Amino acid sequence: MRIATLPDGRSMSDLTARARLRDAAIESFAEAGFDTPYRAIAARAGVSPGLITHHFGSKAALRAECDAEVLRRYHALKTEAIGDPSGYLMERLAVPGAAATILVYLLRAIHAGGQPARDFLDSLVDHARVIMAESVASGLARPSRDEEARLRYLTYQTMGAMLVQFLTAPDPAPDAFVASLRASRQDAILPILELYTEGLFTGPTMLDDYLRYLWEPPDDQARAEPQPQNT
């Protein structure tokens, strides 16, 4: 017997009352933030507000399940991106529909801070690690003296830039926001390519000075560091 599936790969049997509430909460949180009241989520799901308490017990538990589901969907998109090395995860996310909801949910979660923000950022870094390794191996990107630090910096820079755009967007609704992202992307391509290809500084002086500082710290700093004690 064939089981009907949804566009994102889930079976129709997944659309239980609990799953409908979770999906409605994800959409509501993406559209209006994590302070969205129970009644708005319940109305979107077509159930009574009391059913949220029945299934989840608390709003914190509902948020935790939404976070887990968004990460699951994000990982599904990430897997598709890995299978298409010429693509990029944000290209998948920055499209109208369900993917737009995931992107805006991610931005709201990062803005809210706490463990969910760290979890989402760690997932983004994990994806970037695969893409960067492929880029270095193919000769497209230079290796770094500290790959993990570079990955985290690039991830924070990318998400931080999008978060600024989101917080200042005239319309933060998911579909409207990703449409504005796509419309403004042309303005960012040239400076990004210039910066990543040609660099910003005209010479290596600042990098050389910093590397020298790392390997040969000033005498006053060396004296301030605790010395090993003989036992």
Phi and psi at 204, nearest 5°, equal -90, 10
pLDDT of residue 67: 92
The one-letter code for the residue type at 1 is: M
Q: Which of 28-32, 139-143, 200-204, 208-212 has the highest mean pLDDT?
A: 28-32
pLDDT of residue 224: 52
pLDDT 10s digits, 153-182: 999 998 999 999 999 999 999 999 988 888
CB 101 within 8 A of CB 30: yes
Distance between CA atoms of residues 45 and 19, nearest Å: 9
Distance between CA atoms of residues 99 and 77, nearest Å: 9
The one-letter code for the residue type at 104 is: V
Mean pLDDT of 80-99: 54
Instruction: Sketch the domain layout of the chain as residue ranges.
Output: 67-223
Phi and psi at 11, nearest 5°, equal -80, 155
**CATH homologous superfamily, domain 67-223:** Tetracycline Repressor, domain 2 (1.10.357.10)
pLDDT 10s digits, 42-60: 999 888 888 889 889 998 9
Phi and psi at 50, nearest 5°, equal -65, -25
Distances (CA, A) of 229 to 125, 130, 226: 39, 43, 9
